[in-house]
Structure 1
Amino acid sequence: MSFGLFQREQRSLFGEILDWMLTPLLLLWPLSLALTWFVAQGIASKPFDRALEFNLQALTQFVVGQNGQVSFNLNAQARDLLRADDSDLVYYQVLDSRSQLISGEPDFPPPRDFETPEPGRVLLRDDLVRGDEVRVAYTWLARPDPERLVLMQVAETKGKRSTLAAEIIKGVMVPQFVILPLAVLLVWLALVRGIRPLNELEQRIRARKPDDLSPIEESAIPQEVAPLVSSINDLLARLTASLTTQRRFLADAAHQLKTPLAGLRMQAELAQRETDPVEIRGSLQQIARSSARATHTVNQLLALARAETTGRTLPSARIDLARLVRGVVQESVPRALEHGIDLGFEGPDHMPDDCLMDGNPILLQEMVRNLVDNAINYSGRGGVVTARVLLDPFSGVQILQVEDNGPGIPENEREFVLQPFYRALGTNVDGSGLGLAIVQEIAQQHGATVLMEDAHTDRSQRGLRAAVRFMPKTPRQE
């Protein structure tokens, strides 16, 4: 929102700068005129004040004191001093020490009470005489007795002063009426020129092809927008990495789905050509297995996509890891029994209240389910799978372990099995190669680390232990 005089519905950097430059200018212009008026009044008053003081001092020469009496004898010269021009009137007054009128206007306003008489000193003030604003020059005269002071005042209306002040104001205002529009025009042209690099940058971005994600050249841009362009380049780099990952993911997904779908088509064609019920039944069984494999792959792809794209936007809640893992294990018991697996859980019934972790329960259940399913698939009939939850009461670290007695994973391949579609060599278990990749993605979103290690320190025994280590958000207070 713009705070200037000119409001706009859409925020404009050009408009806001113009507002903030012109608004103070337009607000200060009347103030400058008012200040100029007061200054002009002072400038116009100075020469007329000096003339008024001169007239007063000249008239004091006609105040005569003799035999204790004071008189004011006007001659032709004095009358010329009192004769005003066409624009102003002149008033005068002479009072003796008893404030008795000697000559002049009887209704002339007296000096202010706080002014102390000082013989020979000329003072000035603004006052009213017969309703007219006047400038008054006055002084006290020690005639004929120094102890008995005579007051003499001369006043002049302000016609000439106002005329001169108005001429000064006109001389100042007329150039300003020319300079102000010119200044606005120059400011506008300067802003247009200054903002031109932004327009050029906009045109360069608009001229790009949709698939051009290369960084924007930063050498020809203003320093003020360099951080913005740098942020855009960083966004483009991350977008390029994301699109590359998506393309690779789609290619791998298409490759993984191609095999079961090709098998489905082949078995369906064989079943159509067969007349032997036994062969037809065998083809249908193959179709069922291929369909199950394709369904599992699609479900895993959807799970991985959900973990990668929506994990950060799903709501977070306080989660008891022990209860969550125990619930997943209980759900997996029927599948474990179907494969002849001894599935168990080791850990507390629930976590202490101060050890609850922040996370998304849907994603965490998906992570635990993939670890348990992976262990069941690779343990073989008669195998043992144990899901375990450990808590370090001092550091607050929570560890999820899923241990099996399957063939395990060689050390040189443990880093690669966390990538999508990678499967360890030498295994005959159906799978999509996405289970551990899903575990890795969900763990990263919860600030956890995944570690693959041997289930036993004795290398002669087989087995794999997959551990997910959850770090506390803040240090625990004892």
Structure 2
Amino acid sequence: MTTPPAAGRAPGLSLKRLLLLWLLLPQVLLWLVGGALAYRIALSYAENTIDQSLTQTVLSLSRQVKPMGSGLLVDFPRAAQDILEQDPSDRVRYMVSSPPGQFVLGNRSMPPPPWTDPPPAGETRVYSAELDGQPVRVALLEVNYGEAGAPQRLRVQIAKSMTVQHRIARELVADMLLPLLLTGSLLGVLITAGITRGLRPLKKLEASLGDRTGRTLSALAPIELTEAPLEVHSLAGAVNQLLAAVQRSVRQEKRFLSDAAHQLRTPLAGLIGQTELALRETDPAALRERLQKVHAGALRSAHLVHQMLSLARTEADISFAPFDAAALVREVARESTPRAIAQGIDLGFEGAETLPLLGEKLLLREALINLIDNALHYAGRGATVTLRADASRTEPGLAVIEVEDNGPGLAADELAHVFERFWRASEVPGGCGLGLAIVEGIVQRHGGTVAVAPVVPHGLLVRIQLPAATGPADFGQRLSGDLASM
């Protein structure tokens, strides 16, 4: 399966080509740099060898020039001269001049030294120059002679071509780099084969994902890679986690649709039946009674639809912002006070003045409204409902929101089912069994917990614990960890 590049974006290099580029290109660069360094080192050694040879030769030649009175005696046999000049491509040229620069013996075309100040007598110096367009090394020695009243100075120069040495250096580098080139080529083949083999599990992973293209989301099985590097196993594990999350989402959606169809079927059937009976009624009083039942059924259906939409919202993406939870609880309590008074229930609030939280304010409002609705609906006339919002006294870093009533409460075996969808402990009309399920979903999305407990002698306590916003960055980090573990 090959994924086409995004529209308007040029396709990048493949992972295999990137690996080959980063592994083979440095080898080529090192090979070239190594060749240049080897050539320079070979020339350096050749120059040192030539310099030593020229230094000895210029000393020997200077000894052959002997002062006699105010003149010079050059004892330089013809055989020695022939030996110096016998190789045209690697000739050793010499010149004797006195005073320095005025030709006496040897070759007239001798490159002058690069310095202007004369060197000390008896000190040999070597310098690089060009002679007839070829690089040469030149050794220079100056000696004093003559009488004390008429001192004179003699210069002896010997030059040797570097052509042969350059050729030898090139041959040496070529002989050295050729085996390295062959070795590097073999290494490149091995690297290519190793990368191809190493990326084979990714090809299997790609093929495994491609085989799942035509399947339904609920039928996606986990990816299994028995032989693969650790990084590929980690990638497969991450993909499996994603598939598991998709499957959970699909199951929740299917369950939601199934529950919605099941729960809406009964009230809609009742509405249809009541309207059919109302259409056949001729007595105004009976017709009014039928319409009242239709109205009550429509209210129940509307309440059920509202609850189911709220439940769907708890499973959608949400954004978090800081807010005051204590102010939110007081606000919801004030909004519910008229209904509580109408039902003869004492509704009150107690707790902290401020309680900072980081979350989705509208969703937490929805959770509080559901808890208050449950308490007002099932506590009964004359009951007391108390809302609390404060920091936890036993667990630092947690905020606690409670809704407590002294109504009939629940039996011990019923407490385990209170957060199940569409479960109802009472047949009191008006409920649909989704209120506490919505509360649980909202609290979990905020990284908190919700629990119910009986109240002595009777009643029910619903306690919500949420991470307090003591530090936004710290809270966001803990919240991300909690959501990732869900």
Q: Same fold (TM over 0.5)?
A: yes
Q: Please state whether the residue corresponding to 1:327 is helix, strand or coil.
A: helix
Aligned counterpart, 1:39: 41
Moved more, 63-72 or 462-471: 63-72
- Whether 1:298 and 2:298 are equivalent positions in the alignment is no
1:397–1:34 Cα change, 3 Å: closer
Aligned counterpart, 1:308: 315
Distance in structure 2 (CA, Å) of the matches to 1:288 and 1:257: 15
1:72–1:439 Cα change, 3 Å: same
1:265–1:172 Cα change, 3 Å: same
Aligned counterpart, 2:21: 19
Distance in structure 1 (CA, Å) of the matches to 2:220 and 2:118: 85
1:39-58 to structure 2, matched below 5 A, reads: 39-42=41-44, 45=47, 52=54, 56=58
Aligned counterpart, 1:3: none
Aligned counterpart, 1:384: 383
1:362-441 to structure 2, matched below 5 A, reads: 362-380=362-380, 382-391=381-390, 398-424=399-425, 426-441=426-441
Tell me the matched-pair count. Answer: 453
Aligned counterpart, 2:482: none
> What one-letter code is carried by the residue in structure 2 that aligns with 1:72?
V
Identity of aligned residues (%): 34
> What one-letter code is carried by the residue in structure 1 that aligns with 2:246?
L
- Whether 1:196 and 2:197 are equivalent positions in the alignment is no
Superposed CA RMSD: 3.9
> What one-letter code is carried by the residue in structure 1 that aligns with 2:464?
V
1:75 pairs with 77, 83, 101, which one? 77
- Whether 1:332 and 2:354 are equivalent positions in the alignment is no
- Whether 1:449 and 2:449 are equivalent positions in the alignment is yes
- Whether 1:345 and 2:340 are equivalent positions in the alignment is no
Unaligned runs of 5+ in 2: 1-8, 472-486
Moved more, 36-45 or 213-222: 36-45
Aligned counterpart, 2:6: none
User: What is the CA distance between 1:172 and its match in structure 2?
Assistant: 5.9
Q: Please state whether the residue corresponding to 2:89 is helix, strand or coil.
A: coil
Aligned counterpart, 2:263: 256
CA contact (8 A) 1:93 1:154 kept: yes
Distance in structure 1 (CA, Å) of the matches to 2:448 and 2:244: 25
CA contact (8 A) 1:322 1:347 kept: no
CA contact (8 A) 2:333 2:347 kept: yes
Q: Please state whether the residue corresponding to 1:415 is helix, strand or coil.
A: helix
User: What is the CA distance between 1:260 and its match in structure 2?
Assistant: 0.6
Residue deviations 1:14-70 (CA, integer Å, cap 9, x gap): 232122123323433442332233134245557766765675466456334556864
1:11–1:418 Cα change, 3 Å: farther
> What one-letter code is carried by the residue in structure 1 that aligns with 2:222?
P
User: What is the CA distance between 1:132 and its match in structure 2?
Assistant: 6.1
Aligned counterpart, 1:205: 209
1:465 pairs with 461, 465, 469, which one? 461
Distance in structure 1 (CA, Å) of the matches to 2:49 and 2:68: 35
> What one-letter code is carried by the residue in structure 2 that aligns with 1:37?
Y
> What one-letter code is carried by the residue in structure 1 that aligns with 2:344?
I
CA contact (8 A) 1:97 1:150 kept: yes
User: What is the CA distance between 1:356 and its match in structure 2?
Assistant: 2.1
Q: Please state whether the residue corresponding to 1:419 is helix, strand or coil.
A: coil
1:265-280 to structure 2, matched below 5 A, reads: 265-280=272-287
1:413–1:207 Cα change, 3 Å: same
1:8–1:51 Cα change, 3 Å: farther
1:93-112 to structure 2, matched below 5 A, reads: 93-94=95-96, 103-104=105-106, 109=112
CA contact (8 A) 1:389 1:398 kept: no
Moved more, 126-135 or 243-252: 126-135
1:396–1:220 Cα change, 3 Å: closer
Distance in structure 1 (CA, Å) of the matches to 2:144 and 2:363: 109
User: What is the CA distance between 1:415 and its match in structure 2?
Assistant: 2.5
User: What is the CA distance between 1:163 and its match in structure 2?
Assistant: 4.0
2:322 pairs with 313, 317, 326, which one? 317
1:108–1:445 Cα change, 3 Å: closer
User: What is the CA distance between 1:258 and its match in structure 2?
Assistant: 1.6
Distance in structure 1 (CA, Å) of the matches to 2:314 and 2:58: 100
Distance in structure 1 (CA, Å) of the matches to 2:399 and 2:433: 27
Aligned counterpart, 2:481: none
Q: Please state whether the residue corresponding to 1:329 is helix, strand or coil.
A: helix
1:47–1:410 Cα change, 3 Å: same
Aligned counterpart, 1:230: 237
Residue deviations 1:257-278 (CA, integer Å, cap 9, x gap): 1211121222233334444444
Distance in structure 2 (CA, Å) of the matches to 1:203 and 1:108: 75
User: What is the CA distance between 1:307 and its match in structure 2?
Assistant: 1.5
> What one-letter code is carried by the residue in structure 1 that aligns with 2:435?
G
1:215–1:46 Cα change, 3 Å: same
CA contact (8 A) 1:451 1:468 kept: yes
CA contact (8 A) 1:419 1:437 kept: yes
CA contact (8 A) 1:404 1:463 kept: yes
User: What is the CA distance between 1:418 and its match in structure 2?
Assistant: 1.6
> What one-letter code is carried by the residue in structure 1 that aligns with 2:17?
G
> What one-letter code is carried by the residue in structure 2 that aligns with 1:375?
A
1:124-203 to structure 2, matched below 5 A, reads: 124-127=126-129, 133-138=135-140, 152-168=156-172, 187-203=191-207
Distance in structure 2 (CA, Å) of the matches to 1:187 and 1:438: 57
1:139–1:110 Cα change, 3 Å: same
Residue deviations 1:151-192 (CA, integer Å, cap 9, x gap): 533112333334444454565677778777776565444433
Aligned counterpart, 2:251: 244
Q: Please state whether the residue corresponding to 2:417 is helix, strand or coil.
A: coil
CA contact (8 A) 2:120 2:142 kept: no
| TM-score of the pair, normalised by structure 2 | 0.78
Distance in structure 2 (CA, Å) of the matches to 1:19 and 1:452: 62
1:474–1:77 Cα change, 3 Å: same
> What one-letter code is carried by the residue in structure 2 that aligns with 1:315?
F
> What one-letter code is carried by the residue in structure 2 that aligns with 1:465?
L
Aligned counterpart, 2:5: none
